Chain A
């Protein structure tokens, strides 16, 4: 029983990691309909930036996040304006371009760092919380709560604020949104930058957990896409729940079946769910088709 609870907790926390990483992608994919393969690299860059703040200036990751997230926001603006805006109506070329960015970012960081595996030392990584005999790393608990808070915050943002409503309008029907006077291009820019900033938050909060590598982004990107699609495009609660589900699936499959097969298992489950319900768990039915046919 205790083992079961352990796996459950571990799965939820892992789900928190997946949710946090996917939230930014959910906005970008859901709103701007951009297949951003470089999203994992935003997380990676944020992790290195966080490490830099820590190693050079002694700023802990939970403070550095306030520096790193705006940094990624700016990077997002640059990338959207220069690379993705021109490719608005070319989804295949977007895949191509963001894949090129992925290679570019990965190897730039490799060239700078030679691939040495940095880690954030100290209390952030070492602290363990113990409750009712169940143990969890402090850093992961922080990630889980951050993911939940951000998901909630984002839901409120999208439903209560003007900018958020504009984004939702664009998700639903960009042509009509334009007719309503919404500056669609500006919305795209804002959303992409926001998505990048969220990746920045993820990177900063994940830095205490992992050993950094220029290739660590690649570990997350496919899972992030799967979570977003599973949860339902453009649905914030969907991505959040999708992340939790993937985390739980992976945890249980890893323990009760075989750690070597856990990825394969949840990938297969993902494909099966998608086949049965292509719009994802919480997406609008048919949403996978709406908006993908180009609406200029």
Chain B
């Protein structure tokens, strides 16, 4: 070979191996969540969901020729959120995902914008996260309105008929914990229900860390509602239910929103008391395969990796969220903020495309309009999906409504 040819070949080889080496650089996804503090369990569960989606993608060779790596940033309040973003950026993070606390998501996504990095939120609920119109923000999962919508539908189409009462004039008490999560959902529930002609006999707010909730229960009891709704966390939800049992407050139906569908509540109240209680929650792996394709596979993967059943359904929504992100990256062919967002805007997948039963279609503010929670019911100590109909297994019926 001539010297020139040798050099050219060597140069070509170098170039090729150089770009191959660059293509080997993994895509780093920074997951910002509270991994310490009172909701640490959920932050961790959400991150587990991310990891499962990433493992799945990596098994197929990653995306755009690169493997994916998950990094974690612990943040329990906005200042920590900013610091976590800064740390992850210095660790060469390409894309951010999160976040179990809305205030953290707010500050962190804002910080991520300074670096033109996408903030792909899978779980935070506050409406203003998308209403802000931040150019890097995308929300793949349901939000406060979704929960409020499904609660109202559950009351109207599921519980009202089950207890044999017409919707107009149905009496409902709306209880919630007093942070942005509970209050924003409660506010919308009230609007939606009143529009349907439901009588909201009262709205109560309580602190989720309260040592006693007898006052909240007695107030609700006095209003004699047909249906009692609570949006809260596990400690207050459990205490409320126990207090209701103590005080002999027996509304015809109980609807919990957000939490109350895990072993933490089962252990606390017992299967017998929980029988028939319905929950508006994140979709669960027991859904039909037609409604939630891949749900069973998620369950199997979780059990294999973590040696136990999923702790909370938030994880599967997180898993699906990252699956959607990976699709957007693939469609964009890059991790660039604008390209990914533009590609996401064009994605259009019908409902029932994912394990959670979600579809994918972002509105102008990049909220996924096809992401909804489902309604489940405690039946003999197990959680069973009961709403919407397509998600429900064929032999499933409602139990204990009205409550005995």
Docked pose: A136 CA to B239 CA in angstroms: 14
The answer to whether B41 touches A116 (Cβ under 8 A) is yes
A213 contacts the other chain (CB 8 A): yes
The answer to whether A119 touches B215 (Cβ under 8 A) is no
Chain B contacts for A227, CB-based, 8 A: none
Partner of A223, one of B39, B211, B268: B211
Measured CB to CB, the closest approach of chain B to A225, in angstroms, equals 14
The answer to whether A135 touches B247 (Cβ under 8 A) is yes
- Closest residue of B by beta carbon distance from A136: B246
B31-88 residues with Cβ-Cβ distance < 8 A to A are 36-41, 44
Partner of B214, one of A14, A116, A119, A210: A14
Measured CB to CB, the closest approach of chain B to A197, in angstroms, equals 22
Q: What count of chain B residues pass the 8 Å CB interface test?
A: 39
- Closest residue of A by beta carbon distance from B243: A137
Mostly helix, strand, loop or mixed at chain A's interface? helix
The answer to whether A6 touches B264 (Cβ under 8 A) is no
CB<8 Å pairs between A and B, sample of 28: A6-B218, A7-B214, A7-B215, A17-B212, A18-B211, A114-B41, A115-B39, A116-B311, A117-B234, A117-B264, A118-B264, A121-B268, A121-B270, A122-B270, A125-B268, A126-B270, A136-B246, A137-B246, A210-B211, A211-B234, A211-B239, A213-B38, A247-B212, A251-B214, A251-B215, A254-B215, A259-B216, A262-B215
A107 contacts the other chain (CB 8 A): yes
The answer to whether A117 touches B218 (Cβ under 8 A) is no
Measured CB to CB, the closest approach of chain A to B186, in angstroms, equals 12
Q: How many A-B residue pairs have CB under 8 A?
A: 116
Q: Give B contacts to A, CB under 8 Å.
A: 36-41, 44, 178, 204-207, 209-216, 218-219, 222, 234-235, 238-239, 242-243, 245-248, 264, 267-268, 270, 273, 311
The answer to whether A14 touches B212 (Cβ under 8 A) is yes
- Closest residue of B by beta carbon distance from A113: B41
Chain B contacts for A120, CB-based, 8 A: 267
A213 and B215 in contact, given A3-B222, A119-B268 (Cβ under 8 angstroms): no
The answer to whether B238 touches A10 (Cβ under 8 A) is no
Question: What does the 1/0 interface line of A1-34 toward B look like (CB < 8 Å)?
Answer: 0010011001000100110000000000000000
Chain A contacts for B207, CB-based, 8 A: 259-260, 263
Chain B contacts for A52, CB-based, 8 A: none
Chain A contacts for B215, CB-based, 8 A: 7, 10, 251, 254-255, 259, 262
The answer to whether A116 touches B264 (Cβ under 8 A) is yes
Measured CB to CB, the closest approach of chain B to A195, in angstroms, equals 20
The answer to whether B212 touches A107 (Cβ under 8 A) is no
